[in-house]
Homo-oligomer: A and B are copies of this chain.
Amino acid sequence: MQEEYSTIGRHVVLDVWGVDSALLNSKRKLKKQLKLAAKACGATIVAVKAKAFKPQGVTVAVVLSESHLTIHTYPEKGFAGLDCYTCGSTVDPALAMQYLIKVLKPKQYSARLIRRGDGPMKVEPFK
């Protein structure tokens, strides 16, 4: 018999402003912190791709067994866009995002929690 997995998932989308530009331009630090964030929510890391752009900006994409965690940074604006999507009920993407908010220390942020894989998507505030 084919093993089946729940399609139900949670996807947190997070924009942060007022973050230290040196941190947002450090591929090494962001890669390390995204891996720690994945661990903070109990996810299993499959692969990590990090890219530093010229003249500035970094993307880190972490492929998880449970889906993905990403950050895209604009150091010159103190801005980054993040998301964490996890399927199943054992891993909570909110824990990864709460970890990253503590690390990035944004002056402001805006976020949503999207409930996916169970009929029409439901969008909720994320605190």
Q: Which of A's residues lie within 8 Å of B, judged by CB?
A: 2-5, 7, 9, 11, 13, 15, 46-47, 49, 51, 53, 55-57, 59, 61, 63, 65, 67-68, 70, 72, 74, 76-77, 79, 81, 83, 85, 87, 110-112, 114, 116-117, 119-121, 123
Contact = CB atoms under 8 A, between A and B. Distances in A.
A108 B32 CA distance: 38
Nearest to A78: B7
A67 B3 CA distance: 33
B116 A15 contact: yes
A123 B120 contact: no
Nearest to A74: B7
Contact of A116 (B9, B11, B13, B51): B13
